[in-house]
Amino acid sequence: MIARPALGGEIAVERATEIFPDGTPRAIGTAYLENGACPLACVYCALYRQAGSEPVSGAGIAAQIRSARRRLGAVPGIKLYNGSSLFEPRSIRQGDDDFAAIADEVSDLELVVVEARSEQARRAPGFARRLRGRLEVAIGLEVADDSLLEALGKPTTVRRFREAARTLRAEGILLRAFVLVQPPFVAAADAARLARATFDLAVECGARVVSLLPVVSEHPPMEKLRAAGSFTEISREAYFRIVAECAARGEAVVLAQTDVLDRLPSCPDCAGARSSALSALNATGRLPPVECSRCEPAAGDRTGSRS
């Protein structure tokens, strides 16, 4: 779902501002690590194209982090995103020496965010104990519907997410959840309801941060679903409304995915304003309102509405 580097050359990095656990907006870096293949085959995910064939050693991951931090400059936090899981043995070696090497590169930071699957959350406490700052584990909850998770090729369940959340909470580890917005097999009319229900589940389980990810087509399997009528991207306006409703609840830090907004069908009058507002939300925790007479006409005059 998130833009990643192709294999070869320096890994991609990003520097942004996010809300930290103390409630303040601070600088945070993201390093998009290269590693061995993810064993999953989720239909919406194209990150398999950006992975190697063998697990990467902790020393190899540590070298990537050193390179990323040199380019990011001084930041109090970092997100180590790797298109799989930090705790996946087919992606990254899982020995004590491997995790010691990785932790040594980030143990001085206040916040370290890593990706993991629900089934691997039990491995997080050992890594957390190597850090001086807080560990936050980002898990793809995706959708609060087991049958849909199965259709999407994601071998997990809502129950496993709940169990992972309990494991992390018991160890004082923070939780971040990824939520898909209008994934395959979900009609546009049902997208908001499902996204809100999944957001509610993430909050109920104690997620500090919920990232709402609009699904876009990035590889042939998704185009096959589009041709079959099983997938279409959500409009930017509809996505904005879902993000706005979740953010207004004030129950978690809500993050929008802004790097794919140009791939969503959009109203020409307010597309730029909505993108800017969503970027502001990520940086400040506050979503500026956006009004548009074209796609959101006044009540009583909705004949021209696109959504």
Mean pLDDT, the chain, rounded, equals 92
| Separation CA 30–CA 226 (nearest Å) | 31
Is the residue at 291 inside a domain? no
In one-letter notation, the amino acid at residue 115 is E
Reported as a pLDDT band with limits 50, 70 and 90, residue 74 is very high
Q: What is the mean pLDDT of residues 124-140?
A: 98
Is the residue at 195 inside a domain? yes
Is the residue at 124 inside a domain? yes
Q: What is the pLDDT of residue 198?
A: 98
Q: What is the pLDDT of residue 50?
A: 58
The separation between CA 273 and the C-alpha centre of its own chain, rounded to angstroms, equals: 23
Give per-residue pLDDT as tens, 151-204: 999 999 999 999 999 999 999 999 999 999 999 999 999 999 999 999 999 999
Q: What is the pLDDT of residue 3?
A: 41
| Separation CA 299–CA 13 (nearest Å) | 44
Q: What is the mean pLDDT of residues 246-262?
A: 97
Has residue 85 got a pLDDT over 90? Answer: yes
Virtual torsion, Cα 167, 170, 171, 176, nearest 10 deg: 60
3-state secondary structure of 177: strand
Reported as a pLDDT band with limits 50, 70 and 90, residue 296 is confident
- Is residue 144 within 8 Å of 190, Cβ to Cβ? no
CATH number, residue 205:
3.20.20.70
- Is residue 283 within 8 Å of 17, Cβ to Cβ? yes
Is the sign of the CA dihedral 34, 36, 38, 41 positive or negative?
positive
Q: What is the pLDDT of residue 47?
A: 73
Give per-residue pLDDT as tens, 87-128: 999 999 999 999 999 999 999 999 999 999 999 999 999 999
3-state secondary structure of 301: coil
CB-side exposure of 34: number of CA atoms within 13 Å? 19
Instruction: Find residue 81's DSSP bridge partners.
Output: 32
Reported as a pLDDT band with limits 50, 70 and 90, residue 302 is very low
Is the residue at 210 inside a domain? yes
- Is residue 257 within 8 Å of 274, Cβ to Cβ? no
pTM of the model: 0.93
Q: Which domain holds residue 68?
A: 12-267
Is the residue at 180 inside a domain? yes
Helix (H) / strand (E) element for 253: namely strand 253-256
Q: What is the mean pLDDT of residues 217-243?
A: 96
Has residue 7 got a pLDDT over 50? Answer: no
Q: What is the number of structural domains in the chain?
A: 1
Has residue 37 got a pLDDT over 90? Answer: no
Q: What is the mean pLDDT of residues 60-88?
A: 96
- Is residue 150 within 8 Å of 114, Cβ to Cβ? no
For residue 178, report the phi and psi dihedrals to the nearest 5 degrees: -100, 130
**Angle between helix 236-248 and 188-204 (nearest 10):** 30
What percentage of the chain reaches a pLDDT higher than 70? 92
Is the residue at 305 inside a domain? no
In one-letter notation, the amino acid at residue 60 is G
Is the residue at 188 inside a domain? yes
Instruction: Find residue 178's DSSP bridge partners.
Output: 140, 211
Reported as a pLDDT band with limits 50, 70 and 90, residue 300 is very low
Is the residue at 282 inside a domain? no
| Separation CA 275–CA 281 (nearest Å) | 10
For residue 95, report the phi and psi dihedrals to the nearest 5 degrees: -75, 165
Reported as a pLDDT band with limits 50, 70 and 90, residue 254 is very high
Q: What is the pLDDT of residue 252?
A: 98
